[in-house]
Amino acid sequence: MASSGTGPRRVTIDDVAEAAGVSRQTVSRALNDKGEIGVSTKQRVLDAALALGYRPSRFARGLVRQDTVSVGLVIPDLLNPFFTEVAAAALEAARGRGWHVVVYDTGDRVEEERGTLEVIASQVDAVVGYLGLPEEEIARLTRGLPVVLIDRAHHGERFSSIRIDGEAGVHAAIRHLTGAGHRRIGMLDHMERSEPSVRHAWFDAAMAACGLDPGSVARADQSAEGGERALQELLAEHPDLTGVFVFNDIIAFGALRAARRMGREVPRDLAVIGFDGLRLGTLVEPPLTTVALDIRGLGALAVEQAARLLTGSGPLPADELVVGAELRLRGSG
């Protein structure tokens, strides 16, 4: 089987299942000699696999021979502590399965991501991580490998994805601020896309639920320096703000620094709440109040879904592929 322009496409277990007229699970049982299917069905699967030139992944063979599974973990920026913690969580979960994980840092660049996928497609059994390329291109470059996307919606059945749902946590953050008497609350959103972020939408919904008008917003690049500049801009235009919700903890660290430089005591003069739940948040002064994601659970869930896709045991349903967040009160808010 071939695909135009990029060489042969990797034959998948789905191709064998379709050719033999059976399920993925039946193919897995036949190839691994599980003895749970009829002799004629098993032979039909083996014949289809031979005719298609199907080469089972090293993971599938490892079900019998204990070969090491190799997974490519694609991260956009390891200098960002959030992605470092996500990588650490995935590595911990993979280590518990005896898997080998290769971490790739794309520098959040499209060309680097494309080159990474071109290289690893023949070297790993599955791909997990943050991918920004169009789905058609991801499918072409990964050549039938199981792919688990993190924090990205997908269409169709070619990929699986882990969804981050922080809406309840953001609502809890705004309720906390209003309960403390704040009525003028702004937000620092990111500026990496032209449209407002999903977290901005959660913020607006939370403000409305608390009976408040939409808050004033400034845009920041995802760095402490960006947060510092954005808070200075926001307070210059809206000096009456007494609270601010921030797109992520890294930007919030800069906001804390800017507040000090502007003579605003946190949280007395300005409450600051971040999003992500980084461990570094306990080391700043005051410690950062944040809407904390279950980062460890995110890594474990991504690895679990990759394992299910590799074994053909059936992926977790979409409603179970969700990582939530909760308000973690510290000193800044």
Contacts 24+ apart (CB under 8 A), 40-49: 44/20, 45/16, 45/20, 47/20, 48/16, 48/19, 48/20, 49/16
Predicted local confidence at residue 186, as pLDDT = 97
* pTM (predicted TM-score): 0.78
Cα 282 to Cα 75, 79, 253: the distances in Å are: 24, 19, 11
**Residue ranges in the chain whose pLDDT is less than 70:** 1-10, 32-36, 55-67, 156, 193-194
Kindly state the helix (H) or strand (E) to which residue 206 belongs, with its residue range.
Answer: helix 198-209
Cis peptide leading into 317, omega within 30 of 0? no
Hey, is 129 helix, strand or coil?
A: strand
Query: For position 39, what pLDDT does the model report?
Result: 82
pLDDT at 3: 37
Beta bridge partners of 218: 188
- Position 309 scores a pLDDT of 86
Q: What is the pLDDT of residue 121?
A: 82
Q: Which residue has the tokens 């109040």?
A: 289
pLDDT at residue number 9:
54
